[in-house]
Amino acid sequence: MALRDAPSSCPALWRSLRCPAAELRLDLVLSSGQTFRWRESSPGAWTGVLGTRVWTLVQERDRLWYTVYGEEPPGPHTDGILRDYFQLDVGLPALYRAWGAADPHFHRVASDFPGVRVLRQDPVECLLSFICSSNNHVARITAMIERLCQAFGRRLCQLDARPFHAFPSPAALAGGDAEAKLRALGFGYRAKYVSGSARAIAEGLGAEGLRRLRAEPYAEARRVLCALPGVGTKVADCVCLMALDKAEAVPVDTHVWRMARRHYGAAPGARSLTARVHQEIGDFFRGLWGPYAGWAQAVSTPPCCPTPQKPICPPPAVPTRRLNPLPRSCSAPPSTRGRRRPAAGSGPGGAGRAAGTKNPKGGPRSPKRGSQSPKGGSQSPKGGAQGQGRGCAPPHTPAVRPGELLAPRELLAPGGPSWAALACFLYYKQ
């Protein structure tokens, strides 16, 4: 089957919903780390699995176009599925205005992230996906979920030689050999938790029981989730927010914790992210942003996106002049730099310098007769610079190479990159 990447291809197979960019931005929502089943199949077109169907979504001006692959053509029923998935009954611009009025920091960042809303996902898929998010990043989680679906899920269709599979049921992941298969697929220690939680759901709570937590209070839903293998407070809050209709749930990881301390002064005395600190930060944001606090956090910080990818400092376009002076031992004229120092007693003025004696001006000791510095240069008495062939460059002279982010110690080393590079490092480190 061929991929349909624009409404102009087979117009009869496409439908649209009215959805301005202020209400939804596909590019910001589907790539934010809330879900891991969508990919940009062509510029502006997103293809993925929702339920037991494969969809392609395209946003054009104030319309959300979609097509569904399979025997059933799109219609009012599929309109309802999309409206429920994106929770389009929640008016986003009014929430943005309320959050911005209550929070100056939100007001500053919101203009860069319009149309960010929280998805309403299947609870089982959301739970098992976020168990995989522990110590992980979005690209790797996406690849893991793809392998999981290929190995355990039902095949739905094939688009341009690419197969698509449904998310596996808890029973499919609860078998005795499921953990071993998951380890073979690269899940590592997470394999035990994925298969263990799937078994606990299949043999106890059930998929419908998990879905019924939508009607339970937030605290009770989180308590039930935290009893499952591999589920802590952060994963439980992700599931509560994105699958169980708990808009007040605020997932807190180290990134959110740092943001809360830096911009809001929340949990000032905390030294580690304990369950108490997690609760304290969540309560703070619920008091600030109100009943849709989890939605506001999705705008101000990615809610459950582990290890956010940060840009790096670009290398300078041209070589820059070093701003720090050379050490005293490297003050020789350019024509003599890097040459071997003559032995004591030889050369002009050398007769008056015995081996091992001090320089009359308090400089470094001369090398002993017959000895050499490591590379033909001189040594300073207290860990100073060593000559290194051409020029007497200090030992730490790192170059900023493309794709490299230097550590602060290297940035501040004698002869290292400029203070502009350090400022760039500190900016992106935030």
| Residue of 63, 53, 51, 72 lying closest to 7 (CA atoms) | 63
DSSP string, 138-189: HHHHHHHHHHHHHHHSPEEEEETTEEEEPPPPTGGG-STTHHHHHHHTT-TT
Dihedrals phi, psi of 245, to nearest 5 degrees: 65, 30
Find tokens 């929640």 and name the residue.
90
Pairing verdict, β 53-60 and 45-50? antiparallel
Positions annotated as catalytic residues are: 234
| Element of type H or E holding 211 | helix 206-211
Pairing verdict, β 386-388 and 376-379? antiparallel
d(CA 285, CA 257): 11
d(CA 295, CA 116): 8
d(CA 224, CA 213): 9
Is-contact 331 278, C-beta < 8 A? no
72 residue type, one letter: E
